[in-house]
Structure formats: structure tokens, C-alpha cells
A and B are shown apart, each in its own frame.
Chain A
Amino acid sequence: MRFSVYRFDPDRDDKPRMQDFDLELQPNDHMVLDALLRLKQIDDSLSFRRSCREGVCGSDGMNINGRNRLACITELRSLREPIVIRPLPGQPVIRDLIVDLTQFFEHYHSIRPWVVDNRPMPEHERLQSPEERSTLDGLYECILCACCSTTCPSYWWNPEQFIGPAGLLQAYRFIADSRDQALDERLDFLEGPFRLYRCRTIMNCTEVCPKGLAPSHAIEQIRKLQFGRSF
């Protein structure tokens, strides 16, 4: 199987290049990650992040044949050759397929990803009915792989100011949480032309999410809440 992989080592290279491989796959090589590990046996300098190899840690998000995916759950047989593997778009490249996601995580932290409740501690747990808990479905499953944000054109144009689909999905996860007491502050934080409102409902995010989540739906819900409280 033929591969074309993005290579860039800032210590050695002036500019990035694409390296071609022709790989003899073994019968148990099903996923792109399996192939990448074999490529690493051929060229040990090839660098990429990976961990769980089952699509739950979000480490191996990369651009495969033009689409952001998780390498460990992307089947090789579903891809046309040569398989082009590039780092997540728009992010500074640390090396090869490893990108700097500092900005991405800063946006995540900026939305205060924890339940805010400054009332006196309850004697028992903060109870939540099954209906209330179900409002978190489709939100809590986010693995912060950055596939969505790095495929969002609005995030490409304004990564410093626009929070991005992942951050906004997580913002809604806490806005929707019945135990959280900071709804108004969270909605205030997302006001202004940049933090949320760079979103043009392009919906690349929802199309590309490897966990099947819908950041555009979460953003719509936030807009509805902001609209509803304005009168």
C-alpha cells in the first residue's frame, strides 16, 4: 500500500516535505495507526502521537486523505491510494505529524470546564435526575482530539480569538449541566463578535467528529439561550 507522509523536523529541515512509502501490510494491519507503526519500523525518525489505539484518547488526530480523522480507528481499506497523511491543519507543527495544541487547550480552559456551584456544600451529592443527565449526552463524550476545531475555517482565520467548536461544545456541556449555577456568567463570557460569533454554521466540525458529536448543534443551543434571555 502506498503512503505519502508529511515530514518536517525543525532542527534539520528548512521546509516540510512529503515522503513516499510503499508498505507491505500484514494481515492484522487494519487501521492507519497500524500502518504508521510499520512505517516507523522503516523510518524510525517518523513522529506522531498515539496512545489508546481504540479511538478514546484523542491523541492521534491527523489529516488523512484530506479529512481529519483518528488514525487508530480509520480503516485502511476505506482509503484511496496513495494515502496522504498530514498533521491537523492550521496548527504550528512541532515535528512531522505532531502539532502544537496549546492554543486549543487554552480556549478549552477559558470556558471553565468544571461545575460551578458556590453555594454551601450539600449534605449528600448534588442530585441529578436521569432526564437532567440525558442533556449531557452528545457533549460529555468529547475526547478533545481537535479534529473539529482544526477543520473549522473560522478557527483557521482567528485561532486566537475564536474559541472553536470543541471549546464551544464543552462550554455548552457545562451550560446544560443542571448542577452548574453559573449560566449567566457563562453566556456573558461567550458574548461579543469573536468567542462564539465567528461561527458561520459551516458545519465542518459536525461532519468530521470521530465520536459522532455535533458541535454546531451545541453552538446553536448556546445562541438560543443567549437570544432567549435578551428579552
Chain B
Amino acid sequence: MAGGERLLGGLRAWTWQRVSALYLLGFGLVLAIRLVATPLADYAQWHAFWTAPPMATATLLAVVSLAVHAWVGGRDVILDYVRPRSARPVALALLGLLIGLAVARFAVALLAALG
């Protein structure tokens, strides 16, 4: 049932914010533990660490999670504080652009590293 549910309406946004937060928390903890347990000595190790398929996949998911989390959070701030209401679509578009560019930048970096 999705009466009144637009793109990322109420419940969906609320759920995704928590799902992405849980994933980021897990990812952050695992990353911290791994880096503390086996510190990376040089660039070769650093490169190998990040481009190993499990790590690269998990990191990609983390970036996507962060983008979703940032979108929901930023959207809530805009919907709360931006006045007049007609300025909201503009602010939301800018937010989307900012997040999109950040994700694209990461994608470029990851492809370069893997490529």
C-alpha cells in the first residue's frame, strides 16, 4: 500500500536511512578493526587492500549507502528549513547533483584503481 507515497516518501526514506546507517556502521567497524590489526605499510599494500574484490564490493556498497543516507538526511533538512516552498525543488536538485558528483568521482577513482 503506497497511498501518498511519492519517490522516496515517508516510510521508505525512514527505512533506507536506518538500513544505510547500519551498513555503514558495520563497514566502518570492520574497516577499523582490519586496519588496526594489519596496518598497511606501503602504497602497494594499500592498493591491494582496496582493490581486492570483497573489499572493493563492500566499499562500493558503502559509498552507495552513504549517498542514500546523505540524500535522506539532506532532504529532511531542506524540507524542514528551506522557505519559500518553491525553493525546495531547487535545493533538492542541488543536493542531488552534489551527491551524484561525489559518487561519480568515487566511481572514477575505483575504476582507475581496478583498471
B80 is contacted by which of A154, A191, A230 (Cβ under 8 Å)? Answer: A154
Q: Are the CB atoms of B13 and A197 closer together than 8 Å?
A: yes
B79 / chain A contacts, CB cutoff of 8 Å: 158, 193-194, 198
Asked if B3 is at the interface (CB within 8 A of a chain A CB), the reply is: yes
Q: Mark A199-226, 1 if CB is under 8 A from B, else 0.
A: 0100000000000000000000001001
Distance from A42 Cβ to chain B, minimum over Cβ atoms (Å): 40
Q: Is B4 an interface residue (CB 8 A)?
A: yes
Q: Taking the complex as formed, is B105 at the interface, i.e. its CB lies under 8 A from any CB of chain A?
A: no
Asked if A157 is an interface residue, CB under 8 A from chain B, the answer is yes
**Interface residues of A, dominant DSSP:** loop
B13 touching A191 by the CB < 8 A rule?
Answer: no
- For B4, what are the chain A residues with a Cβ–Cβ distance below 8 Å? 188-189, 191-192, 195
Q: How many residues of A contact B (CB 8 A)?
A: 23
Are B2 and A191 in touch, CB under 8 angstroms?
yes
Whether B80 contacts A223 by the Cβ 8 Å rule is no
Is A223 in contact with B14, judged by CB distance below 8 angstroms? Answer: yes
Cα separation A230 to B75 with both chains bound (whole Å): 22
Chain A nearest CB, measured from B83 CB (Å):
9
Is B1 an interface residue when CB atoms closer than 8 A count as contact? Answer: yes
Q: Which residues of the partner chain B approach A188 to less than 8 Å between Cβ atoms? A: 1, 3-4
Chain B residues within 8 Å of A158, by CB? 79-80
Q: Interface readout for B1-33 with A: 1 if CB under 8 Å, 0 if not?
A: 111111011110111000000000000000000
Q: Across the two chains, which residue of chain A brings its CB closest to B10?
A: A197
Interchain CA distance A195-B14 in the complex, whole Å: 13
B43 at the interface (CB under 8 A from A): no
Listed in ascending order, the chain B residues whose CB lies under 8 Å from chain A are 1-6, 8-11, 13-15, 75-76, 79-81
Interface positions of A (Cβ within 8 A of B): 154, 157-158, 184-185, 187-198, 200, 223, 226-227, 229-230
